[in-house]
């Protein structure tokens, strides 16, 4: 088997909480991400998905264990792992064009070539005609497309996506999911995609990693053998229902475990029940 | 005597509670204020001074004339520019800085591409505030001690009993402020094209 592009080895991440004991967000998390795959990290909110992605991007450092890119530990913000933020994080003072050109500009690419690169990705995300608009003038779906174009133009080796479509309406989300699949099929870039929706994971992923309730660990890894290209109709297949039931069984166990733990602590939290069936 | 004893006995049970509750705030204030005062002693010391209080000092330093007026404007306003700049720099969204770094930006690029444009609206607001403050600095300086200038003219017109001249002077001030305001707004529109769409 080829060397994994991204890997986590027994990673733990603890956060200080006031003067009380530390909060363990992730504990004993190990995972290998294969080059070129679209991997979905699935789990209830609060189980440590974003924390794990921030570790992969080098925004924070693990409390124990190691996070590696091509076998090298990630020790600072890693531009080879491009992050697509849920809240877009577009530069409000830059036009669509300038936002998309940002990555190439930072790499020292000349003006003319930069324009070409930007034009290609603006075309890819179907935003031609909006080059001179500012992010504030665009809808949520269009802004998320700009972030996608911006990160693709920066050409990282891995795309890290933190519930990028969670804030979109159902129809726009579906369109964006199909576009992401098309982009992935064309570029064969490695993608780590976070979601708390089983449906979304089943539509997008090559492999699905189900995370446990906090502290987050890998509960199970499933291969998604649903036929490609996947369109909406894939949800009608018996295989889709079977996989969904299988994943739900894993998730449900975690929800119960989490609920019992909270009850024992006397602080019921609803976080774990947030997974969408 | 009896009443004093009574009040004492009723307040004593409350007393131990009060400091316990207040301690965290006290620690924060105790640690924070000296720290802040050490970090920017000039700001803490000079900030409370209204611009007029600089007039006697500048006259002693520079005598009466244009350099003294310039000094008044400078001394009365730089602190506001500094405060607005520091504050708006601090308020730049850290997520955008993170995003820029993730896209490969160096320290210098983060300054130029994110912190500067992110802080610019706040800095320009500071400049507009400063413009108004500077203007009143000049007029005050001219009225208190000056041979020429609009402020001096109005002041002298009052002594001559020339009501018309006083009013003309005031209208001139008003028009100047209006024009300066328009120019500042125009500069803002040109420098912050993205804000136009946000407001709309
Ligand atoms: N910077 C932080 N400081 C303290 N606690 C944090 C921090 N970031 C995350 N946490 C906690 O870690 C847990 C996991 O958070 P997160 O990774 O955001 O979960 P998810 O993305 O799966 O919803 C949560 O309980 C959250 O409150
Ligand atoms: Mg999250």
CA distance A134 to B198: 9
* Residue of B96, B101, B120 lying closest to A91 (CB–CB): B96
Query: Which pLDDT belongs to residue B17?
Result: 33
Residue A13 forms beta bridges with which residues? A26
Query: Which pLDDT belongs to residue B136?
Result: 84
Q: Between A116 and A141, whose confidence is greater?
A: A116
Identify the segments of chain B with pLDDT beneath 70: 1-40, 197-200
pLDDT tens per residue, range A220-247: 898 888 877 777 778 888 888 888 888 8
Helix (H, G, I), strand (E, B) or coil at A67: strand
CB neighbourhood size of B130 (10 A): 19
Mean pLDDT of A109-130: 92
* Residue of A92, A102, A137 lying closest to B103 (CB–CB): A102
Residue of A nearest to B120 (CA): A93
CA distance A27 to A38: 24
Q: Which of A29, A51, A57 to mutate to test the pocket of ligand 1 (most atoms within 8 A of CB)?
A: A51
pLDDT tens per residue, range A250-274: 888 777 777 777 777 665 444 444 5
- Cβ contact B102–A93 (<8 Å): no
The CATH-assigned architecture of domain A6-80+156-272 is 3-Layer(aba) Sandwich (3.40)
Cβ–Cβ under 8 Å, residues A208 and A215: no
Q: Determine which residue's CA is closest to atom 5 belonging to ligand 1.
A: A15
Percentage of chain B surpassing pLDDT 70? 76
Q: Which residues line ligand 1 (CB under 6 A)?
A: A 15, 23, 25, 43, 45-51, 214
Residue of A nearest to B114 (CA): A91
> What ipTM goes with this model?
0.85
Query: How many folded domains does chain B comprise?
Result: 1
Average pLDDT, chain A: 87
Contacts of B108 in chain A (CB under 8 A): none
pLDDT tens per residue, range A19-62: 888 888 899 999 999 999 999 999 888 889 999 999 999 999 99
pLDDT at residue A210 is higher than 70? yes
Kindly list the residues of chain A whose beta carbon comes within 8 Å of any beta carbon in chain B. 57, 59, 77-79, 81-83, 85, 87, 89, 91-94, 102-103, 106-107, 134, 136-137, 150-151, 154
* Residue of B95, B104, B118 lying closest to A106 (CB–CB): B104
Contacts of A79 in chain B (CB under 8 A): 101-104
Report the nearest atom of ligand 1 relative to the CA of A49. Answer: 22
Sequence-separated (6 or more) residues with CB below 8 Å from residue B189: B196
Give backbone dihedrals phi and psi of B106, rounded to 5 degrees, phi first: -80, 175
> For chain A, what are the domain ranges?
6-80+156-272, 90-155
B40 contact A CB<8A: no
Token digits of residue A90:
């577009």
Residue B131 belongs to what domain range?
Answer: 3-199
Cβ–Cβ under 8 Å, residues A196 and A255: no
Query: Which pLDDT belongs to residue B82?
Result: 78
Mean pLDDT of A151-162: 93
CB neighbourhood size of B97 (10 A): 19
Query: Which pLDDT belongs to residue B123?
Result: 86
Report the nearest atom of ligand 1 relative to the CA of A16. Answer: 4
Token digits of residue A88:
């877009």
The CATH number of the domain holding residue B18 is: 1.10.3720.10
Mean pLDDT of A83-110: 94
């Amino acid at each position: 088997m080829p060397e994994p592009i991204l890997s986590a080895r027994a990673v733990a991440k603890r956060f200080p909480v006031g003067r009380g004991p530390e909060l363990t967000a992730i504990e004993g998390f190990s995972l290998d991400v294969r080059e070129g795959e679209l991997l979905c990290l699935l789990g209830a909110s609060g189980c440590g998905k974003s924390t794990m992605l921030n570790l992969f991007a080098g925004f924070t450092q693990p409390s124990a264990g190691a996070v590696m890119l091509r076998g090298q530990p990630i020790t600072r913000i890693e531009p080879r792992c491009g992050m697509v933020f849920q809240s877009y994080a577009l530069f409000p003072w830059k036009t669509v064009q300038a936002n998309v050109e940002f990555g190439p500009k930072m790499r020292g690419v000349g003006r003319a070539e930069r324009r070409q690169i930007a034009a290609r990705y603006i075309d890819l995300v179907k935003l031609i005609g909006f080059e001179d608009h500012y992010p504030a003038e665009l809808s949520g779906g269009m802004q998320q497309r700009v972030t996608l174009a911006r990160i693709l133009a920066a050409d990282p080796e891995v795309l890290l996506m933190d519930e990028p479509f969670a804030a979109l309406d159902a129809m726009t989300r579906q369109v964006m999911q199909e576009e992401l699949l098309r982009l992935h099929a064309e570029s064969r870039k490695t993608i780590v995609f976070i979601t708390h929706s089983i449906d979304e994971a089943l539509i997008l992923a090559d492999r699905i990693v189900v995370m446990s309730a906090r502290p987050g660990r890998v509960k199970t890894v499933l291969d998604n053998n649903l036929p490609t290209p996947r369109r909406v109709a894939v949800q009608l297949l018996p295989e889709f229902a079977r996989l969904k039931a299988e994943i739900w069984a894993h998730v449900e166990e975690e929800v119960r475990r989490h609920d019992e733990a909270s009850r024992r602590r006397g602080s019921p939290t609803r976080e774990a029940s947030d997974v969408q069936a | 005597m009896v009443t004093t004893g009574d009040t004492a006995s009723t307040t004593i049970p409350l007393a131990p509670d009060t400091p316990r509750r207040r301690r965290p705030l006290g620690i924060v204030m105790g640690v924070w204020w000296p720290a802040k005062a050490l970090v920017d002693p000039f700001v803490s010391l000079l900030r409370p001074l209204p611009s007029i209080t600089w007039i006697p000092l500048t006259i002693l330093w520079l005598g009466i004339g244009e350099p003294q007026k310039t000094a008044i404007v400078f001394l009365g306003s730089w602190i506001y520019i500094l405060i607005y700049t520091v504050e708006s720099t601090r308020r730049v969204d850290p997520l955008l800085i993170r995003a820029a770094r993730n896209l490969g930006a160096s320290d210098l690029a983060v300054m130029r591409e994110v912190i500067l444009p992110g802080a610019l609206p706040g800095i320009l607001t500071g400049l507009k505030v400063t413009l108004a403050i500077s203007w009143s600095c000049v007029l005050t300086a001219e009225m208190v001690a000056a041979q020429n200038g609009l402020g001096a003219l109005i002041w002298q017109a009052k002594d001559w009993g020339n009501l018309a001249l006083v009013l003309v002077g005031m209208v001139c001030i008003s028009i100047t402020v209006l024009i300066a305001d328009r120019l500042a707004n125009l500069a803002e529109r040109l420098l912050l094209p993205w804000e136009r769409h946000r407001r709309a």
